[in-house]
A and B are shown apart, each in its own frame.
Chain A
Amino acid sequence: MAEYAHPETLATTDWVAKHAHDEGVRVVEVDVDTKAYNEGHVPGAIAWNWNTELCDTLRRDILSRQQFEELMERSGVAPGTTLVIYGDNNNWFAAWAFWQAKIYGHRDVRLMNGGRKKWLAEGRELATDVPKVKPANYTAGEPDPSLRAFLPQAQAASAQGAAALVDVRSPQEFSGEILAPPGLPETCQRGGHIPGARSIPWGKAANDDGTFKSADELRALYASEGVDGSKPVIAYCRIGERSSHTWFVLKYLLGFNDVKNYDGSWTEWGNLVGAGVERGAAAKAAGARQ
């Protein structure tokens, strides 16, 4: 069985149980459900709120370099800290935080494999106290543009095919049958997908216990849709968090060289005046432009 390309970017629940309180280790929980942390969390873990602390709350953007530095400093994270991130929904927003940490050059970031779900299911110790954190000094690197796609790059990938577009939403969102995940508010004017995109839902990369599938399984999954690392990849979803999960898989577990997360995603493309949209199931995508 093949190894992951970068196994050092994963931490097992066992490892976290043993090292969460080590000096030089900071464990952070990032959930979709921002109340989950208060219910009980990994002892020693702090929490980041994805919709107030991991984005610019005035303009639609990720954290600025200064905002990222401030977050690290108040979280007691120094440049040499081993940052272990985990969360609910198979690490969706944990992967979003991981992605931003890599954009700003944090060296040692890891996802806890299986996330919050695995920790709970294993019956591991939970704490409800919020640890006191000694602030640290932090200088972030310049943002790494190779990890993030903006609209013009997505448009070029769609028009010219220079990069593989991977849509990681559900098949029903991809086809245009629904405009948002079932039960959630609709956040776009048009349903469907970016012309030329392949449908590879994020969840196919995860086992039932929330851990990532093996490298062999992952390689076969993406290769079956023509995504084999031979050309650049742009992953997208609705707002960029599910695609962070896939970005992590392609970049760090499979070791593809050029993988970008398009965080504008469908809330940008599906609201864009004049943007081409394809509808229909994956196999029919090529002939269904509107």
Chain B
Amino acid sequence: MRAEEYAERGLELAGWPVNVASYRLGTEWHAKADNVSPGAALARATGTTRDEAERKVLARAEQLLGRTRRQAV
């Protein structure tokens, strides 16, 4: 087994930059989102298509990122 059709893209979610990586393992698509600058993994999801896996992972990532509080500095 190998990761096939590996791709990454950046986007903004809830005001934060996010990196999404997705690839296919066999017949299953895997997607992961991280918050770019700190690089921490936010969410992972699987689906039968790339779109489905990415849609799930982005929904979860947006939910988590939306909880981030900005302090006055």
Contacts and interface: CB of A to CB of B under 8 A. Distances in A.
A33 interface: yes
B70 A177 contact: yes
A183 B14 CA distance: 10
A158 interface: no
A179 B38 contact: no
A119 to B, nearest CB: 8
B4 interface: yes
Contact of B73 (A124, A176, A242): A176
Contact of A123 (B3, B42, B67, B70): B3
Contacts of B2: 123-126
Contacts of B68: 178, 180, 182-183
B70 A178 contact: yes
A178 B35 CA distance: 13
B16 A182 contact: yes
B11 interface: no
Q: How large is the interface on A (under 10, 10 to 19, 20 to 34, 35 or more residues)?
A: 35 or more
Interface stretch (A71-79, A88-96, A134-142): A88-96
B69 A178 contact: yes
Contacts of B40: 32, 89, 181, 183-184
A46 to B, nearest CB: 18
A117 B1 contact: no
Instruction: Specify which of B2, B25, B65 lies most central, judged by the most chain A CB atoms within 10 Å of its CB.
Output: B2
A206 B58 CA distance: 24
B4 A39 contact: no
A121 B25 contact: no
Given A33-B41, A40-B1, A177 B35 contact: no
Contacts of A175: 73
A171 interface: yes
Interface in A38-93: 39-40, 88-90, 92
A128 interface: yes
Contacts of B71: 176-179, 191
A39 B30 contact: yes
A234 B67 CA distance: 31
A28 B61 CA distance: 28
Interface string A179-195: 11111101000010000
A26 to B, nearest CB: 22
Nearest to A171: B37
Nearest to B4: A123
Interface of A: 32-33, 35-36, 39-40, 88-90, 92, 117, 120-121, 123-128, 169-173, 175-184, 186, 191, 201-203, 242, 279-280
Interface of B: 1-4, 6, 16, 21, 23, 25, 30, 32, 34-35, 37-42, 44, 61, 64-65, 67-71, 73
26 contacts: A32-B40, A36-B44, A88-B41, A89-B39, A89-B40, A89-B41, A92-B39, A117-B21, A123-B4, A124-B2, A125-B2, A126-B2, A172-B37, A176-B73, A177-B73, A178-B68, A179-B71, A180-B68, A182-B68, A183-B35, A183-B64, A183-B68, A184-B35, A203-B38, A203-B39, A279-B73
Which 3 residue pairs of A and B lie closest in terms of their CB atoms, listed nearest first? A181-B38, A183-B64, A120-B3
